[in-house]
Structure 1
Amino acid sequence: MTTSHHRFLILGAGPTGLGAALRLLELGESDFLLIEAQAGAGGLAASFLDEQGFTWDLGGHVQFSHYRAFDRYMDLALGHEGWIEHQRESWVWIRDRFVPYPLQYNLHRLPPEERWQCVEGLLSIAGHEPAAQPIPATARDFDEWMLATFGQGIADVFLRPYNFKVWAYPPDMMNATWIGERVALPDLRTVLKSLCLGEDNLSWGPNNRFRFPKRGGTGAIWTSLAGRIPDAHLRFGDAVAALDTSQHILTTASGNRFGYDQLISTLPLDRLALLIGDPELVAQTARLKYSSVHVIGIGLRGQPPESLRTKCWMYFPEDNCPFYRVTVFSNYSPENTPDPGVTWSLMAEVSESPCKAVDASRVLDDVVQGLLATRLIANPADILSRWYRRLEHGYPTPSVDRDSILEQVLPALETRHIYSRGRFGAWKYEVSNQDHAMMQGVEIIERLVNGREELTLNRAELVNGRYNEDPYPEWGRG
């Protein structure tokens, strides 16, 4: 058994933990150790090669960025030539047809009755009906926000059914503080123009252009960046077994003990609380909500049909399929298949929660049936590979009481010199993309070493509302 002490101990080699470790190296700080339970880097952004030679991600990840610093790290990982650039094409499969996303800017593709249902709702909230109510300054929950922002029609036709499928919780159990840039707000003039002219509107969104690794899936990025950290600072394949916060001692499954001054954890908050064993922390974090995600990869012979040839991903609000999203994963990179041009691939995601049960023994077959029902595939005999992973912690749910819980838990951990960051470490969906997660790691190091503010964790509306230039004049020293 090993016993050692470190100024910084980092738990997890996903984007957040790697961001923290890389920033420590850049600042010339060498007294740190990163511990990862898995054999390799990436966390929820890892990739896998199946037995048939198909590459899979743990969900539909894309690389777009709010930060110049993150873009620098991406170029450091794969260079300028290791990427494929994409113009985003996202669609909604609804009423047995594809409608470009966002749906409210492409209502002309809906059946006539539902077009009017959607427009009537928008006109009502715009004040053209006597019964119209003003949009509340602060909606009590996500469902109230949807109705006040989109009207009854779009809420009933798309937003309510889709958001239950993706979040696995009713929208009235969620807050509305996370939304920001995540949802396209309706502009009545744009809606009516598209409707009258019959024009598709495909350009909305912060990620209307994105890039993807040529080879190795999203995980290739994080494997490359982990390779830039000296082995002496890395410990893979050794999970945390116990945490004594009074003595600042962490014990791993292998029986090794590590002392620390500061602990940066990217573990899910509820799991971290159980390791600490404080009953109050356990009770508080047990109130946090999350959904699990079943990720199913379907490798196929042939080439994608013409209807999918340029699409990136599709949303599925209806109940004739179990998945909420399907990615044409071979469109991201042909190298995601074993024989480019002769094989192709689809990746489906199915959510699960206490409010939405999933039969794991049937989910693969249910997904295949859903792909047939939505006409994404024509013949099950073309399937070469069926790959499956269940992610216990898939989405951190922005529940109505999430913010009040985090306002208690995160400061309580810091009194113990524990800084919980990342997708499930901070539990803030609005700053849980890969760029956000990595910058949370960078910024906590800047706070602990140089006393700087953590913008991503604390100012989501600021970092998401702009492209953030290099935050540190001395960037890259060390």
Structure 2
Amino acid sequence: MSSILIIGAGPTGLGAAHRLRGLGLENWHLFESTEQIGGLSASFVDDHGFTWDVGGHVLFSHYDYFDRVVEEALDGAWYEHQRECWVRIRETWVPYPFQNNIRHLPPDALEECLAGLKGLAGSPSLAANFREWMDRVFGAGIVKHFMEPYNRKVWGVPLHEMSREWIGERVSVIDLARIEKNIAEKTDDVNWGPNNTFKFPHKGGTGAIFSSIATRFQDRISFSHELTEVNLAARELGFSNGRRERYDSLITTIPLDIFIGLCRDVPESVREAASRLVHNSGLIVGIGVEGERRDSKCWMYFPEDNCPFYRVTNFHNYSPWNVPNGDTSRFFSLMCETTSSPHKPVNRAEIVETTIQGLINAGMLTESERERIISRYVIDIPYSYPVPTVGRDEALAVINPFLESQGVYSRGRFGAWKYEVGNMDHSFMQGVEVADRILNGADEPTVTGKGGDR
């Protein structure tokens, strides 16, 4: 019987493991470099009793399969929320999506945005890159006030180096008549998007989902196994603790460029292609405060340069158990996300204090609340987003056929290097689908972009 090894206990590795177990396969095993389940979807409890996620995750799904797995894992122990999302700009709040709700802007900015919309020219489908696409879809005003500064903060790369093919359902495009109607009738337009409702576990943060899934096959997971060498010819792995394992098929979820660097005898063309893959890094700063915060917002976007972060989550609103003893009358928590990259360096030693000052600058904290901060928690993420650059698909077209010819399947947010299918549900299903492919020759609609819900 052929052996299948899995590297990484994040959503993709767990999706593959769940599927292999469900199909009754015996000869498989999963290796994780840390002691933690969940990868980029893990959660942590700090010394003060606050729970923090690795970024602002919300649970929504495109797949019946994933929904069933989550329902079994949580057994009904979740909260369901209506998304309330805002943009902080020009000292006011604009409901998300920004482009549908520009009526909230000051008059000068509103006029600039409308003028840009009315002067749109050129087909978005002919745009050469993401920056050009923004100009053709949103016009100069919206690009100036929101799209350009916000995306620069998120991605940390020059926007003309990004492709436009990744966008899909992630950006609400323009309907000028609808926007003018919203302005005239003074109505908000906030229901766009796949995550306008979402779930969140009662306790344990997002990581509780994946910890529960993993309990079904805990005996098949080896922790503290950092991959250090891949002998493709021999189909053998080496780990930092000296362990060596042979495989027939390998599912790897670690960053693709790192994996290629661990492999022996890789063609120079593959190494060169891997060197062209671009990612950014992230810093999650959790600020736990003593006091009550009455603010129904879920998460907020910050395009301006008076703060380092691009997004802040009222994390206490997701679950009361994200604060000590579940007591939101005594505590609240703000989870702040900042991007770092070679184009956008961040001083890690000062990130906590610059974050706190940014919260005050943006009206999220008062000076008196600064004095009541009791938790300052930092999660440093070396690989945060795989950037969909103009040359990404060309690079992947060199790397993946070679790896798969060697029995290696690189999947997941950084394994597949496809941001557009890097949500938790997408990532989990990449694992499910690649397991089906290895065993049954099935298609992989998520990673190829050729399928719908399943």
Task: Tell me the number of residue pairs that the alignment of Structure 1 and Structure 2 aligns.
Answer: 448
Query: Quick check: 1:295 aligned with 2:284?
Result: yes
Output the CA distance in 2 between the equivalents of 1:342 and 1:377: 16
Correspondence for 2:377: 387
Counterpart secondary structure, 2:287: strand
| 2:227 paired residue among 240, 247, 251 | 240
Matched to 1:72, the amino acid is: R
Output the CA distance in 2 between the equivalents of 1:42 and 1:280: 33
Correspondence for 2:66: 70
Correspondence for 1:16: 12
| 2:169 paired residue among 175, 181, 192 | 181
Correspondence for 2:84: 89
Output the CA distance in 1 between the equivalents of 2:442 and 2:283: 38
Correspondence for 1:254: 241
TM-superposition CA deviations, 1:314-365 (whole Å, max 9, x none): 0000000000000000000010000412111000000011111101111111
Matched to 2:80, the amino acid is: E
TM-superposition CA deviations, 1:34-93 (whole Å, max 9, x none): 00001021000000000000000000000000000010110111112x100000011000
Correspondence for 1:283: 272
Correspondence for 2:28: 32
CA contact (8 A) 2:270 2:398 kept: no
| 1:267 paired residue among 226, 231, 254 | 254
TM-superposition CA deviations, 1:94-119 (whole Å, max 9, x none): 00111101111111110101111111
CA contact (8 A) 2:421 2:447 kept: yes
Correspondence for 1:334: 320
Correspondence for 1:366: 354
Query: Quick check: 1:216 aligned with 2:212?
Result: no
CA contact (8 A) 1:62 1:210 kept: yes
CA contact (8 A) 1:6 1:258 kept: no
Matched to 1:227, the amino acid is: T
| 2:431 paired residue among 438, 441, 450 | 441
Query: Quick check: 1:171 aligned with 2:171?
Result: no
Counterpart secondary structure, 1:344: strand
Deviation at 1:230, TM superposition (A): 4.4
User: Which of 323-332 and 192-201 deviates more?
Assistant: 192-201
Query: Quick check: 1:122 aligned with 2:112?
Result: no
| 1:400 paired residue among 384, 390, 393 | 390
Query: Quick check: 1:352 aligned with 2:330?
Result: no
Counterpart secondary structure, 1:258: strand
Matched to 2:103, the amino acid is: H
Deviation at 1:6, TM superposition (A): 6.3
CA contact (8 A) 2:269 2:398 kept: no
Task: Classify 1:136/1:183 alpha carbon distance in 2 versus 1 (closer, same or farther; 3 Å).
Answer: closer
Matched to 2:445, the amino acid is: L
Structure 2, unmatched stretches of 5+, are none
| 2:94 paired residue among 99, 102, 112 | 99
Output the CA distance in 2 between the equivalents of 1:154 and 1:348: 24
CA contact (8 A) 1:108 1:115 kept: yes
**RMSD over aligned Cα atoms:** 1.2
Deviation at 1:283, TM superposition (A): 2.2
Correspondence for 1:130: none
Correspondence for 1:225: 213
- Per the normalisation by structure 1, the TM-score is 0.92
Query: Quick check: 1:202 aligned with 2:190?
Result: yes
Matched to 1:430, the amino acid is: E
TM-superposition CA deviations, 1:195-254 (whole Å, max 9, x none): 1122122211110000000100000111111111140x2101111121111101101111
Task: Classify 1:355/1:26 alpha carbon distance in 2 versus 1 (closer, same or farther; 3 Å).
Answer: same
Counterpart secondary structure, 2:37: coil
Deviation at 1:375, TM superposition (A): 1.2
Output the CA distance in 1 between the equivalents of 2:269 and 2:290: 54
Output the CA distance in 2 between the equivalents of 1:196 and 1:139: 32
Output the CA distance in 2 between the equivalents of 1:226 and 1:165: 35
CA contact (8 A) 1:6 1:33 kept: no
Correspondence for 1:311: 297
Query: Quick check: 1:41 aligned with 2:40?
Result: no
Output the CA distance in 1 between the equivalents of 2:379 and 2:18: 29
| 1:50 paired residue among 46, 51, 58 | 46
Output the CA distance in 1 between the equivalents of 2:397 and 2:126: 19
CA contact (8 A) 2:124 2:137 kept: no
Output the CA distance in 1 between the equivalents of 2:377 and 2:81: 25
Output the CA distance in 1 between the equivalents of 2:270 and 2:112: 47
CA contact (8 A) 1:78 1:224 kept: yes
- Per the normalisation by structure 2, the TM-score is 0.97
Output the CA distance in 2 between the equivalents of 1:264 and 1:45: 19
CA contact (8 A) 1:248 1:260 kept: yes
CA contact (8 A) 1:313 1:326 kept: yes
CA contact (8 A) 2:156 2:340 kept: yes
CA contact (8 A) 1:6 1:259 kept: no
CA contact (8 A) 1:10 1:35 kept: yes
Counterpart secondary structure, 2:133: helix
Correspondence for 1:476: none
Matched to 2:240, the amino acid is: A
Task: Classify 1:138/1:412 alpha carbon distance in 2 versus 1 (closer, same or farther; 3 Å).
Answer: farther
Query: Quick check: 1:61 aligned with 2:57?
Result: yes
Deviation at 1:135, TM superposition (A): 1.4
Query: Quick check: 1:420 aligned with 2:410?
Result: yes
TM-superposition CA deviations, 1:123-144 (whole Å, max 9, x none): 111xxxxxxx331423210011
CA contact (8 A) 1:266 1:420 kept: yes
